[in-house]
């Protein structure tokens, strides 16, 4: 599904489109704001747009929403798309250091089928201190082919 599904995020999407067009895409972005406003959806659409196999001819950055890569990212089965989030089955609902270390290992390799490896970190404010420190090391020296999309409704807690 293309960016048109991301209602209320036109300014953020325009900034991301400009960054891609000008080849100035950063290695990490923080999506922050109130709960349930579409931060995660916008981040997923960015991952799809960057790895889309059949991008629309229209100006700017977007995805078709129908190709294999777009479908796999939506289903979380794309080999170059990773999601870290708190386990809802755990009482603490924290992101643990083991989760971050697993992604660190995976992100170091070149993408298998996409243009970039994308790591979406949902509810990043729920990372343990150890997980945050491990992620910081990777964010300081990221692989060139990687992109981290960090999502938080409490950015001051990061």
* Single pTM value for the model: 0.88
Number of domains in the chain: 1
What is the extent of the structural domain holding 32?
3-157
For residues 77, 81, 123 and 127, what is the CA-based torsion angle, rounded to 10 degrees?
110
Query: What CATH number does the domain containing 115 carry?
Result: 3.40.50.300
Per-residue pLDDT of the chain (158 residues; tens, 9 = 90+): 466 676 666 777 778 888 877 788 899 999 888 888 778 998 999 999 899 998 877 666 788 888 999 999 999 999 999 999 998 888 889 999 999 999 999 999 999 998 899 999 999 999 999 999 999 989 999 999 999 999 998 887 77
Q: Which two tokens stand for residue 50?
A: 């960057």
Nearest one of 109, 110, 104 to 148, comparing CA atoms: 104
∠ CA 153-18-83, rounded to 5°: 40
């Amino acid at each position: 599904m293309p960016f048109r599904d991301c209602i209320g995020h036109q300014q953020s999407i325009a900034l991301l489109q400009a960054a891609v067009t000008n080849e100035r895409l950063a290695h990490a972005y923080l999506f922050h704001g109130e709960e349930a406003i579409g931060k995660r959806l916008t981040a997923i659409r960015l991952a799809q747009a960057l790895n889309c196999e059949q991008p629309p001819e229209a100006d700017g950055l977007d995805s078709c929403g129908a190709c294999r890569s777009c479908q796999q990212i939506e289903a979380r089965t794309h080999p170059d798309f990773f999601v870290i989030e708190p386990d809802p089955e755990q009482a603490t609902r924290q992101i643990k250091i083991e989760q971050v270390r697993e992604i660190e290992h995976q992100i170091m390799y070149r993408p298998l089928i996409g243009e970039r490896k994308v790591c979406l970190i949902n509810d990043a404010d729920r990372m343990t201190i150890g997980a945050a420190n491990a992620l910081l090391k990777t964010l300081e020296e990221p692989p060139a082919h990687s992109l981290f999309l960090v999502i938080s409704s409490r950015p001051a807690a990061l």
